């Protein structure tokens, strides 16, 4: 990135009035900031991390798409497998009833052979659904690799920003440099007293409050 | 006491996958009447235009989150009797307490099991039957 502050700012300010003067001051400040960042050694890292952000966005989008697609695929397969399973269960109950009522007739009518064919076809379909479920898990491998790259980028960005922050924050504000805890799923509840780790703790908390 | 099959459920979550999972579990429990909404705002609109008996809602959603939906339901005379079961990844104690104080009928943290959902739904239905 190249930042060029006006070299002849005073002349421009004199000729164009207050607006030009503000422009010159902003340009000078930008130049000073740019130089300071370079001297601190932050700029190259920050620049590299910032350049990677659009790529990280697309990578995260890819992960979201891939995981959503896998979840849909699995749920579809489960729905279909359950339907086939329910069909076998129904046919089994019907055959049992027929055999109990009149075994000779059940066999003679071909009900038993039909049932065997039916079971064979249904189990073949169920097997295919299970294979589809297994294959849908490929998202884990693919997204895992992408996640690793995004984590690297986030680490670079964090290191650069923390370095910058430590350099510029006034001494009296140092105590405010605290870790920010984001809400949402708790990845590691160990040692934290402000969150629950499981449903049992939710129930205990609510019970202690009389709910 | 009412059976799950007698009740009409509204599942509110911004993730379609989670709506589908909750709906699937409710179906396995015998809940055949079930609709979906993708956020609190859509849910409130559906609640005011159709009759529902039970709401299962996420908290972290765009437009109107689960807390705002819960408060809107409890502030509406026509809706306040509908039990709202929160199903969420928010595991902070202050969120759980806030949900209870705002009138949530139950609180489930994700990930959860079918048994947990079944237990909470049954418990809420028992309470409803006792107060009816």
Going from the first residue of chain B to its last (132 residues), give the mean pLDDT of each consecutive group of 10, the final group possibly shorter: 83 89 89 94 97 95 94 96 92 92 94 88 89 74
Query: Mean pLDDT, chain A, as a whole number?
Result: 78
What torsion do the CA atoms of B93, B99, B104, B110 make, to the nearest 10 degrees? -50
For residue B10, being part of any structural domain is answered with yes
Distance from CA of B90 to the nearest CA of A (A): 5
For residue B76, being part of any structural domain is answered with yes
The confidence score (pLDDT) of residue A184 equals 57
Instruction: Establish if B13 touches chain A: CB-CB under 8 angstroms.
Output: no
Question: Which residues partner with B36 through β-bridges?
Answer: B11
The confidence score (pLDDT) of residue A3 equals 42
- A18-40 and A9-16 helices, crossing angle to 10°: 160
Short-list B57, B1, B58, B4, CA closest to B33? B4
The confidence score (pLDDT) of residue A2 equals 41
For residue A106, being part of any structural domain is answered with yes
Mutate to test the interface with A, among B91, B103, B107 (most CBs of A within 10 A): B91
The confidence score (pLDDT) of residue A76 equals 94
Phi, psi (deg, nearest 5) at residue B88: -150, 160
Q: How confident is the model at residue A40 (pLDDT cuts 50, 70, 90)?
A: low
For residue A119, being part of any structural domain is answered with yes
Short-list A138, A16, A18, CA closest to A67? A138
Question: Which residues partner with B9 through β-bridges?
Answer: B34, B54
| Residue span of the structural domain in which B115 resides | 4-124
| Residue span of the structural domain in which A65 resides | 55-155
Q: How far is CA A31 from CA A34, A38, A45, A168, A173, in A?
A: 5, 11, 18, 16, 26
Tokens 């920003």 found at: A161
Helix (H, G, I), strand (E, B) or coil at B117: helix
Identify which has the larger pLDDT, A146 or B72. Answer: B72
For residue A30, being part of any structural domain is answered with no
Instruction: Establish if B115 touches chain A: CB-CB under 8 angstroms.
Output: no
Rounded to 5°, the CA angle A82-B13-A76 comes to: 25
Q: How far apart are CA B109 and CA B104, in angstroms?
A: 13
Instruction: Establish if A202 touches chain B: CB-CB under 8 angstroms.
Output: yes
What interface predicted TM-score (ipTM) does this complex get?
0.73
For residue B132, being part of any structural domain is answered with no
The confidence score (pLDDT) of residue A126 equals 95
Q: How confident is the model at residue A9 (pLDDT cuts 50, 70, 90)?
A: very low
The answer to whether the beta carbons of residues A196 and B91 sit under 8 Å apart is yes
Short-list B5, B6, B3, B9, CA closest to B85? B9
For residue B22, being part of any structural domain is answered with yes
Label residue A132 exposed, middle or buried (CB < 10 Å: 0-12, 13-18, 19+). middle
For residue A68, being part of any structural domain is answered with yes
- CB contacts, 8 Å: B17 with chain A: 68, 71-72, 75
For residue B131, being part of any structural domain is answered with no
Q: How confident is the model at residue A78 (pLDDT cuts 50, 70, 90)?
A: very high
Short-list B54, B28, B32, B30, CA closest to B43? B54
The confidence score (pLDDT) of residue A10 equals 47
Q: How far apart are CA B69 and CA B48, in angstroms?
A: 12
Instruction: Establish if A181 touches chain B: CB-CB under 8 angstroms.
Output: no
Instruction: Establish if A53 touches chain B: CB-CB under 8 angstroms.
Output: no
Query: Token pair of B35, please?
Result: 């609709």
Mean pLDDT, residues A96-118: 93
Count the domains in chain B: 1
Distance from CA of B91 to the nearest CA of A (A): 5
Helix (H, G, I), strand (E, B) or coil at B78: coil
Distance from CA of A139 to the nearest CA of B (A): 15
Q: How confident is the model at residue A38 (pLDDT cuts 50, 70, 90)?
A: low
Enumerate the H helices of chain A as residue ranges: 9-16, 18-40, 43-101, 103-108, 111-136, 138-168, 199-208
Q: What is the CA radius of gyration of chain B?
A: 13
Short-list B76, B73, B95, CA closest to B84? B73
Q: How far apart are CA B19 and CA A76, in angstroms?
A: 14
Percentage of chain A with pLDDT > 90? 27
pLDDT at A44 over 70: no
- Asked if the Cβ–Cβ distance from A183 to B92 is below 8 Å, we say yes
Tokens 């005379």 found at: B77
For residue A140, being part of any structural domain is answered with yes
For residue A98, being part of any structural domain is answered with yes
pLDDT at A180 over 50: no
The answer to whether the beta carbons of residues A129 and A88 sit under 8 Å apart is no
Query: Token pair of A26, please?
Result: 């902003």
Count the domains in chain A: 1
Short-list B48, B1, B7, B45, CA closest to B26? B7
């Amino acid at each position: 990135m190249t930042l060029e502050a006006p070299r002849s700012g005073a002349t421009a300010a004199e000729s164009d009035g207050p607006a030009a003067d503000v422009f010159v001051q902003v340009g000078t400040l930008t130049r000073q900031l740019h130089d300071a960042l370079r001297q601190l050694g932050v700029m190259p890292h920050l620049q590299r991390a910032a350049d990677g952000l659009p790529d990280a966005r697309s990578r995260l989008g890819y992960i979201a798409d891939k995981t959503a697609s896998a979840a849909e695929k699995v749920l579809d397969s489960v729905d279909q497998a359950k339907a086939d399973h329910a069909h076998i269960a129904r046919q089994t109950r019907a055959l049992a009833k027929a055999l109990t009522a009149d075994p000779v007739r059940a066999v003679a009518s071909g009900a038993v052979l039909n049932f065997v064919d039916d079971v064979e076809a249904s189990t073949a379909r169920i097997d295919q659904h299970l294979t589809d479920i297994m294959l849908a898990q490929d998202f884990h491998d693919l997204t895992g690799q992408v996640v690793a790259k995004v984590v690297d980028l986030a680490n670079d960005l964090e290191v650069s920003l923390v370095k910058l922050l430590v350099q510029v924050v006034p001494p009296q504000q140092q105590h405010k440099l605290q870790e920010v805890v984001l809400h949402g799923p708790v990845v590691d509840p160990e040692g934290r007293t402000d969150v629950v780790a499981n449903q049992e703790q939710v129930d205990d908390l609510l019970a202690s409050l009389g709910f | 006491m009412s059976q799950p099959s007698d009740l009409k459920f509204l599942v509110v979550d911004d993730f379609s996958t989670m709506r589908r999972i909750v709906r699937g579990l409710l179906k396995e429990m015998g809940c055949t009447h079930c609709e979906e909404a993708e956020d609190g705002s859509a849910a409130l609109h559906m609640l005011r235009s159709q009759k529902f008996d039970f709401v299962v809602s996420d908290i972290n959603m765009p437009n109107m989150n689960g807390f705002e939906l819960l408060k809107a339901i409890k502030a509406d005379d026509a809706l306040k009797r509908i039990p709202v079961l929160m199903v969420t990844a928010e595991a902070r104690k202050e969120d759980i307490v806030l949900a209870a104080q705002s009138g949530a009928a139950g609180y489930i943290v994700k990930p959860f099991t079918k048994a947990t959902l079944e237990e909470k739904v049954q418990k809420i239905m028992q309470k409803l039957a006792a107060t009816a």
